[in-house]
Amino acid sequence: MLKASVIGATGYAGVELCRILLTHPQANIHRLSSVSFTGKAISEVYPALRGLCDERLVSEDEAIDGADVVFASLPAGLSEPIARKCLQAGALFIDLGADFRLHDPDTYESWYQKKYEDPELHGQAVYALPELFREEIEGARLIGNPGCYPTSVALGLAPALKGGLIGSEDLIIDAKSGATGAGRGLSQTTHFCECNEGFAPYKVACHRHTPEIEQTLSILAGEPAAVTFVPHLLPVSRGIVSTIYAKLKGGASLPEVRQRYLDFYESAPFVRVLPEGEVSNLRNVRCSNYCDISLHLDAHTGRLIVVSAIDNMVKGAAGQAVQNMNIALGLDETAGLLFVPPAI
């Protein structure tokens, strides 16, 4: 059995990793780390785990020692030294934060106000969206796990961009996320009284996921991509719905576009292209590693409308990280991830 450690285990993505790893057929939880709760059992922080996982929270170095794979779910700027220690120890390192997502150091500094301190380390990192970069992930030792919004957008647009059905300019992304996307730290906008029965955009045209979205779409299109990205906060705990608008080229019909998507994702176990006339709904992917995609055509404007729904904590974070672990280490890609979304 693989020994898997989680650093930042008491954050939302970290505890979701614990939940997934507890039922993984080929990996066991080795150690869990948390700066804020060192010495406590994780079940004291999250009582839902009582009797299922009562691991004591230890230091980062203790978590790395003896581990085969280390997941880190930390704020930007903290993962580089941990990654170096993991590589030196021979462990696979999977970063759920932003430190290994962006290829260009200047872009990272501009958006995160932090610098890459170890350029050689970044040269080894793989941006790991499994459905798009599977070959690069196989055998990788340092993985940058994609962000939640970029995952929903890239999966929603990949077949159309790679197939030349749409252009890479003037892409409009109207996305909505549950409150867990902001992390466990409390802020005024995620306070219950502010969020409940409210609905509003935030970080309009300046969200940190913008360059990551454009980076992936540019790779897919083979030319620079430009997006208008506006996220919104939904008064729900989890889930993302991205509604994406793009000008359709070449006069393709909706059935032809849908067939392109079906062919593109034929071997992708966690992407579900919905039947014509259905609309993706975050309810149907909640607590799962699935991405549901529905396709629509505005015949009046010639715009393709793609609706992409994921659970931001699973496919947008912890589930995708485990999917990447499975691929990198040669395991069954679906191992530990075949959750059935709750029907109600």
Active site positions, annotated:
148
Q: How many CB atoms lie within 10 A of CB 136?
A: 15
Strand partners, 182: none
Of 103, 151, 149, 148, nearest to 131 by C-alpha is: 151
In SS3 terms, 96-164 reads as CCCCCCCCCHHHHHHHHCCCCCCHHHHCCCEECCHHHHHHHHCCCCEEECCCHHHHHHHHHHHHHHHCC
Q: Which of the 8 DSSP states describes residue 248?
A: B
Q: Please list, in sequence order, all residues whose beta carbon lies within 8 angstroms of the beta carbon of residue 76, skipping any fewer than 6 positions away.
A: 97, 98, 99, 112, 114
CA distance 337 to 135: 20
Residue for token pair 């954050």: 11
Q: How many CB atoms lie within 10 A of CB 187?
A: 11
